[in-house]
Amino acid sequence: MTRSLRILYIALFLAILLALGLWSLRSFIGFTTSKETTVLNGHWTKALETHYDEEFPIKRLGTNLWAALDYKVFNEGRPGVVLGKDQWLYTDEEFDAVANGEQNEADNLALIQGVRDQLKKQGTQLVLAIIPAKTRLYPEHIGDNRPATLHTDLYQQFHAQVSQAGIFAPDLLAPLEIAKNNGQVFLRTDTHWTPMGAEVVAQQLGAAISRQTPLDGEPQTFITEAKATEPYKGDLTTFLPLDPLFSNLLPKPDDLQQRSTNPAEPEADSGDALFADNQVAVGLVGTSYSANPNWNFAGALKQALHSDVVNYAEDGHGPILPMLKYLQTDAFKSSPPQVLIWEFPERYLPAHNDLAEFDPQWIAELKKARDPQQNLAQNANNSESPSRAQN
């Protein structure tokens, strides 16, 4: 290489580097931090460095290129997603084997029974809403992927175990399988159900509760209104970091028609009155299936039950932690509901829960200090006994 070509090469490299650096400065437009993040404590500098690193064009280019290679050549995404056929995406939690899965199942089943007993002391009827996995409802789109053996009969086993424990848990799989013939009950690019799927489950729960434990008080009328259908990029697309350079490779967005449910005749301060009079009829605890307003599950329950529903569900913490938190609230202690619906996706039964924030003695009392392995063995023995199964 001649001296002039070397100079040209160096100049071109510096020019590209300078251009990318100037381009990345656009990311500072609108950059803000919290009041606690100041220059004096060094947090502001760290926040600035992190923000710049995330927005640097070369890093974004590399991330997009690598994601596009994984997606198109190897048919893979980032850990967290499994790519099915026909642009269907699934959470890998419904496929992967779980470390200590049997032990976790036993621990969680013991907690579920303890929660039932704790609610019963307050006069509250537990209704366990076990949500079937997306892979169970749409196995035709998973392609060559196969869930781990642990997940094969997890829904049926879960139901059998809680039934043996005397816990009321209406079957939700059959009505969802029937409903899928009339429309999607789960989103194609998201972990969660559609508003239609949520409504089907709410109607099934409403019918079951009316037979098992009719609600006190006068029935209320609720009206559900559907909004315009809009494109919706599901949460599983975040594991395909193809934006902005290869966004055209992403699966087509879902069509989401959100719904909203309101009383036919609104009453002022009706929520405050319920708490003041200790007349909470129905409570709801669960995961983002219940907490996220996109699915309108709480609204669908109101309409199906002809009753107000107080929603204590939380995003991102699974079903068990929000329930344990709820049991310690003043709302539960002072205004226990007549019925508490616990929305519990089946895939969380074998999952480990970090309960460090709770009093270990209280957790042990909820589990009734029983050996989880003994509980599991007892459940297995019960399932093998024909006479016990008939009772």
What tokens does 331 get?
């709302």
Instruction: Indicate if the pLDDT at residue 33 is higher than 60.
Output: no
What are the tens digits of pLDDT across the range 116-158? Answer: 999 999 999 999 999 999 999 999 999 999 999 999 999 999 9
The residues with which 225 forms a beta bridge, in sequence order, are: 260
Could you count the other beta carbons within 10 Å of the beta carbon of residue 200? 24
Task: Give me the torsion for CA of 48, 50, 56, 61, rounded to 10°.
Answer: -160
CA atoms within 13 A on the CB side of 211: 8
**Residue 304 has which token pair?**
């199906």
Task: Inform me whether the pLDDT recorded for 380 exceeds 70.
Answer: no
Q: What is the pLDDT of residues 204-258, one digit of tens each?
A: 999 999 999 999 989 999 999 999 999 999 999 999 887 767 778 889 999 999 9
Q: Say which of 107, 192, 254, 308 is annotated catalytic.
A: 192
- Report whether pLDDT(315) > 80: yes
In 3D space, the residue among 86, 83, 60 whose CA is nearest the CA of residue 73 turns out to be 83
Mean pLDDT computed over every residue of the chain = 84
CA distance 111 to 152: 23
Q: What is the pLDDT of residue 43?
A: 61
Residue 190 annotated in active site: yes
Spatial distance between the Cα atoms of 68 and 63, rounded to a whole number of angstroms: 9
Tokens of 63: 């991330």
**Predicted confidence (pLDDT) at residue 337 exceeds the cutoff of 50:** yes
Q: Of 100-114, 272-286, 314-328, which gets the smallest average pLDDT?
A: 272-286
Q: Write out pLDDT tens, residues 10-31.
A: 777 677 667 766 665 555 555 5
Higher-pLDDT residue of 288 and 386 is 288
Q: Which residue has the higher pLDDT, 120 or 368?
A: 120
192 is catalytic: yes
Task: List helix spans (H) across the chain.
Answer: 3-24, 43-55, 57-73, 101-121, 134-137, 149-152, 154-164, 173-179, 195-212, 270-276, 288-291, 297-305, 320-327, 330-334, 360-366, 372-384, 386-390
Mapped onto helix, strand or coil, the DSSP state of residue 189 is coil
User: Active-site residue 288, yes or no?
Assistant: yes
- What distance in Å separates the CA atoms of residue 240 and residue 247, rounded to the nearest whole number? 9
Query: So what's the pLDDT on residue 6?
Result: 74
Beta bridge partners, 168, equal 127
pLDDT at 358: 96
Predicted local distance difference test score (pLDDT) of residue 389 = 36
Q: For residue 370, is pLDDT > 80?
A: no
Given this model, what pLDDT does residue 287 score?
A: 98
What CA–CA distance (Å, rounded) separates 353 from 110? 13
Degrees, nearest 5: CA angle 353-359-360: 70
Q: Tell whether the model's pLDDT for residue 283 goes beyond 90.
A: yes
pLDDT of residue 89: 97
Q: Report, as an integer, the average pLDDT of 162-169.
A: 96
Given the residues 107, 159, 288, 335, select the one marked as catalytic: 288
- The alpha carbon of 145 is separated from its chain's Cα centroid by a whole number of angstroms, namely 22
Q: Which of 76-85, 174-183, 240-249, 319-328 has the lowest mean pLDDT?
A: 240-249
Q: Which candidate in 107, 190, 235, 308 is catalytic?
A: 190
CA 344 to CA 339: how far, in whole Å?
16
Give the list of residues 6+ apart from residue 307 with CB closer than 8 angstroms, or none.
215, 217, 219, 220, 281, 282
Residue 54 has which token pair?
């995330």
Rounded Cα–Cα distance for residues 115 and 134 (Å):
26
